[in-house]
Structure 1
Amino acid sequence: MVTKFPNNFKFYCASLLQQAINKALPDETIPPIELARPKQSGHGDYASNIAMKMAKSLRKNPRELAAVFISAMPVSPWLEKTEVAGGGFINLFLTQNAKQQSLYTMLQTGESFGDCHHLGAGKSILIEFVSANPTGPLHVGHGRGAAFGASLANVLAAAGFNVKREFYVNDAGRQMDILTLSAWLRYLELNGLFFQFPPNAYQGEYVITMAREIHNAHGERYVHRSESMLQQLVEAGTDTTAENEDARLDRLIASAKSILGQDYAYLHNFVLTEQLGDCRNDLMEFGVEFDTWFSEQSLFDSGMVTHAMRLLEDKGLLYQQDGATWFCSTRFGDEKDRVTQRENGQYTYFASDIAYHLNKYERGFDHLLNVWGADHHGYIPRVKGAIEALGADSQKLEIALVQFAVLYRNGQKAAMSTRSGEFVTLRELREEVGNDAARFFYVLRKSDQHLDFDLDLAKSKSNENPVYYVQYAHARICSVLTQWSGTPAMLIAADTALLIDPAELALLQKLSDFQDTIEAAAKERAPHLIAFYLRELASEFHSYYNSTRFLVAEETLKIARLALIFATRQVLAKGLTILGVTSPTEM
């Protein structure tokens, strides 16, 4: 009987073990069979602890149970041997022929090699990330969230999910009013009217730039110069009865709205459009794009916020206290109840977040994934509680947290903010180290771990720089293939049996791990696994490159070796694309 060549040897070996256990213990329930690459090549190609997992409930010795399973293993032309190791591990050794022939699968599958569409199976997933307030330039913290979210979305797409990417625009809250006020006060200064600028307003140079643009386009159109206007602003800015600076700022905002009347809407829209446009361009230049830019204001305009609050009220989950409306979030595991509507009638951010998540559920996605900064950890229980309160399945919502990135220069922590208190921007980082280095370095650690971003290393052209090391491997392969000047079609018929050197077999093994890596990265929400894998693959290739001649006189051997490095180039390019990094053909 001819045995079909497996597309994935990890699945294949797990299937053989499953058959063996079913044969040996037909009446037993088998837990999930997990296979891993042993740390030492002498321990086989895959190892399983299934005998150790089952031994306790069966009251069997793990090593003896492993031996029973091995004796029941089906005969396979792709399996050289299976043996018991340690306390009951089952080590599986593939034949050399199995590794060699796997190259055909890589070449025939082409650019889709590595995809594991069985995992997502077309299920829809909405991933919302970045979602920074459009009140100033994106900073390096936003950059990590952008790189992580975009890379994770690409991983999930390769794993067979129908992925939609969304940016939630906070365009309806107090922060936008503060930005509008800040720009208007700077605009008044350009028209010769100076007031004490609030210390908790937006201080950045970009605010002055927007004020200058308004002044250049409209002159004194938005000054509304009058004695009463001057008096109102002075009183609001120096109000000694205000409880704190925030209260003073709120009075200034109220005064601005009163003085400007209908003109306030123009200024609000202008600063929003300017900052949101800058954010879009910054992200687009960074290789991060979205299917939807969802407006918070639209939730109010459509009545969605009122609708969500009414649903909670009908369930008896809202109550009045001290003039405000509260949600009973402690009933759903939160540490305290939360305000949804303030004494002045304004809804809180939490209220619009409840409405936004209700809207997400109503759009019918199979799964929802939010990428939040690690400082939002405490926000998770109240949002999940609100979802449960609305009768939706909170398990459908997943939150991935991203820690901040710390910049290092010359071995020392670099200043993360300017003298005026502004954070180093994403654009400044990109200009210093380049998009590729930024995208790769941002995903070199698990997202919930702090990231030390070494600026000097990111700019260096050395093997210590991981992105340079990986891209250089790709460029080296392209150089060899250019010198050869053949076509990829010529490589399909390569005699892979000639690939017997240990470096070649090691490279084949690493290439065959690509699909498993993508699957693990998708399951664990961990694009850093792709970055790690690419570094290891590049290392295997560079070792092979340094020890081997490719363009040898013997044609069959030359084609076999070129087929191997062509497949390596293919995997490197796909992995880099998933991470949003380019694949240079020369360096």
Structure 2
Amino acid sequence: DALYRLLKAFGYDVVREYYINDAGYQVYLFGLSILYRVYELFGKEDQELKQKFEEEGYKGNYVKELAKDVKAFFGEEVLGWEKEQTIEKLGEYGVKRMLEDIKETLAFMGVEFDLWVSEKSLHQRGLVEKVIKLLEEKGYTYTQEGALWFKSSNFGDDKDRVLVRSDGTPTYFAGDIAYHYYKHERGFEEVINLWGADHWGYLPRLKGALKALGIPEDWLKVEFVQMVKLFSSGKEIRMSKRTGEFITLRELLEEVGVDAVRFIFLTKRSDTPLDFDIDLVKQNTAENPVFYVQYAHARVRGVFREVRQRFGIDPDKESLTEYVSYMKDQQGLELMKELLFFKDTLKDAVLSLSPHLIVYDLLEISKLFHNYYNHHRVIVEDKSVMMGRLSLLKGVEIGLKVGLNLIGVNAPERM
């Protein structure tokens, strides 16, 4: 979302797209996990199902909740259904419910998507088949042990990769090639993907496949996103994939607020692991970086209200640029320079796709401002000095507001 805001601000035409993994084995396992929990609620035993669930199933409590809803809606009727069809049906149901949750959480966080593209729809529309055929025609595939392989080692990958398994089903890789080919066909000049850091090794084979299809290598950029570790009371909140225990983003947003989550998530490069201290971001102190920056903006607004009340001068309407020359003190000039360089930071941030650079500068501007504010009274008898300092504060206000808006964080009037 921060990348989108930044690119839009610099005049790019940007489309935000969410790729839904709603096809393949993972969805099958999801449906199987729901069915296992449904059987559990009814006290029905199925050893084959149990074994598969214990080996590969989804163990989280949310699966139990979905199973309860299935039981409430269908009752014992579900026990009489054919097992494989039921797994497929419950997989679709689970995906639908998870998507509703995802959309609600994103809306709560102020993140929107223009398009939601389903992996399943690519298969249904024959796009996966089309891309596989194109790669075959170009001579980049071969058959071995009944499976169809892509010659990804020709493009710098460490080995060749399977496109179609020996049972005739396409791999995730085939679906991903089709998805990117589809994006290229729609006329996008550049594509930025956000992937989990554990998918780093996946990039050479995808870029190789796109190159084989005649798509330029620099067309696809991938930003890798590392894990977030949550801390409370000085201890890490442990999360486990095996048991399905985790903290949801929604829970974190409700605990510390949207502004805190958005700001802290952008304090580091996306490919750097992030430690998120829940207790720290709930404090109204200078140690809390979110509070520190927002309080700088609120402080400026407080000064403006007082000036308006006491002198009838409205800094929101008054042209203050003519008074800048009255700014003589060293600390004020340092702050002014930092504000002038901020536009270069924004340019660097958009060119390198690094919104965390904005956060660095917001913290630096806030530090210099708080220091200045603590050592210099703004409202003084000498009107020209006061107006000069107000012009500096106006620059601080604009800089903070622009930066906070680009990362989707509020610039409060009062705190």
Shift of 1:543: 1.3
Encode CA deviations 1:419-442: one digit per residue, 9 max, x unaligned: 934232222222332222221111
Aligned positions of 1:57-72 closer than 5 A:
none
Q: Which moved more, 1:406-415 or 1:497-506?
A: 406-415
Q: Specify the alignment match of 1:221 in structure 2.
A: 77
Question: Does structure 1 retain, via aligned residues, the 8 Å contact 2:5–2:406?
Answer: yes
Question: Does structure 2 retain, via aligned residues, the 8 Å contact 1:408–1:452?
Answer: yes
Separation in 1 of the partners of 2:38 and 2:320?
67
TM-score by length of 2: 0.92
Q: Specify the alignment match of 2:170 in structure 1.
A: 347
Q: Which moved more, 1:181-190 or 1:462-471?
A: 181-190
- Whether 2:357 is the aligned partner of 1:529: answer yes
Shift of 1:386: 0.1
Q: Specify the alignment match of 1:151 in structure 2.
A: 2
Encode CA deviations 1:493-546: one digit per residue, 9 max, x unaligned: 642221112122112111111110011111222111111100000011111211
Encode CA deviations 1:193-244: one digit per residue, 9 max, x unaligned: 233532121111111111111222222232216xxx6xxxxxxxxxxxxxxx
2:32 to 146, 157, 181: 181
Structure 2: tracts of 5 or more residues without a match? 309-313
Shift of 1:164: 1.5
Aligned positions of 1:16-55 closer than 5 A:
none
Q: Specify the alignment match of 1:45 in structure 2.
A: none
Separation in 2 of the partners of 1:416 and 1:431?
18
Q: Which moved more, 1:413-422 or 1:183-192?
A: 413-422
TM-score by length of 1: 0.66
Higher alpha-carbon Rg: 1
Question: Does structure 1 retain, via aligned residues, the 8 Å contact 2:296–2:366?
Answer: yes
Q: Specify the alignment match of 1:458 in structure 2.
A: 281
Q: Secondary structure at the match of 2:15?
A: strand
2:317 to 472, 489, 493: 489
Question: Does structure 1 retain, via aligned residues, the 8 Å contact 2:6–2:406?
Answer: yes
2:394 to 566, 572, 575: 566
Shift of 1:492: 4.2
Question: Does structure 1 retain, via aligned residues, the 8 Å contact 2:58–2:244?
Answer: no
- Aligned pairs, number: 405
Separation in 2 of the partners of 1:412 and 1:397?
39
Separation in 2 of the partners of 1:493 and 1:345?
70
- Whether 2:3 is the aligned partner of 1:160: answer no
Structure 1: tracts of 5 or more residues without a match? 1-149, 230-254
Separation in 2 of the partners of 1:265 and 1:445?
41
Encode CA deviations 1:408-466: one digit per residue, 9 max, x unaligned: 33434331338934232222222332222221111211222222222332222211211
Corresponding letter in the other structure for 1:426: L
Q: Secondary structure at the match of 1:584?
A: coil
- Whether 2:252 is the aligned partner of 1:426: answer no
1:195 to 40, 43, 46: 46
Aligned positions of 1:311-390 closer than 5 A:
311-390=134-213
Q: Secondary structure at the match of 2:78?
A: coil
Separation in 2 of the partners of 1:542 and 1:509?
16
Q: Report the RMSD for the aligned CA atoms in angstroms.
A: 1.9
Aligned positions of 1:24-173 closer than 5 A:
150-173=1-24
Question: Does structure 1 retain, via aligned residues, the 8 Å contact 2:320–2:390?
Answer: no
Shift of 1:265: 5.5
Q: Specify the alignment match of 1:70 in structure 2.
A: none
Separation in 2 of the partners of 1:495 and 1:439?
36
2:108 to 266, 269, 285: 285
Q: Secondary structure at the match of 1:417?
A: coil
Shift of 1:309: 0.5
Shift of 1:552: 2.8
Question: Does structure 2 retain, via aligned residues, the 8 Å contact 1:491–1:562?
Answer: no
Q: Specify the alignment match of 1:206 in structure 2.
A: 62
Encode CA deviations 1:94-123: one digit per residue, 9 max, x unaligned: xxxxxxxxxxxxxxxxxxxxxxxxxxxxxx
Corresponding letter in the other structure for 2:228: A
Shift of 1:186: 1.6
Separation in 1 of the partners of 2:232 and 2:223?
29
Question: Does structure 1 retain, via aligned residues, the 8 Å contact 2:59–2:242?
Answer: no
Q: Specify the alignment match of 1:544 in structure 2.
A: 372
Q: Secondary structure at the match of 2:163?
A: strand
Shift of 1:280: 1.1
Separation in 1 of the partners of 2:233 and 2:357?
28
Separation in 1 of the partners of 2:95 and 2:197?
26
Corresponding letter in the other structure for 1:570: I
Question: Does structure 2 retain, via aligned residues, the 8 Å contact 1:491–1:560?
Answer: no
Separation in 2 of the partners of 1:470 and 1:555?
28
Separation in 2 of the partners of 1:487 and 1:576?
20
Question: Does structure 2 retain, via aligned residues, the 8 Å contact 1:318–1:328?
Answer: yes
Q: Secondary structure at the match of 2:218?
A: helix
Corresponding letter in the other structure for 1:207: V
Separation in 2 of the partners of 1:466 and 1:487?
27
1:395 to 218, 222, 239: 218
1:519 to 340, 347, 353: 347
2:301 to 478, 482, 496: 478
Separation in 1 of the partners of 2:315 and 2:263?
31
Q: Specify the alignment match of 2:237 in structure 1.
A: 414
Separation in 2 of the partners of 1:364 and 1:529?
30
Change (3 A) 1:357 1:493: closer
Q: Specify the alignment match of 1:295 in structure 2.
A: 118
Q: Secondary structure at the match of 2:187?
A: coil
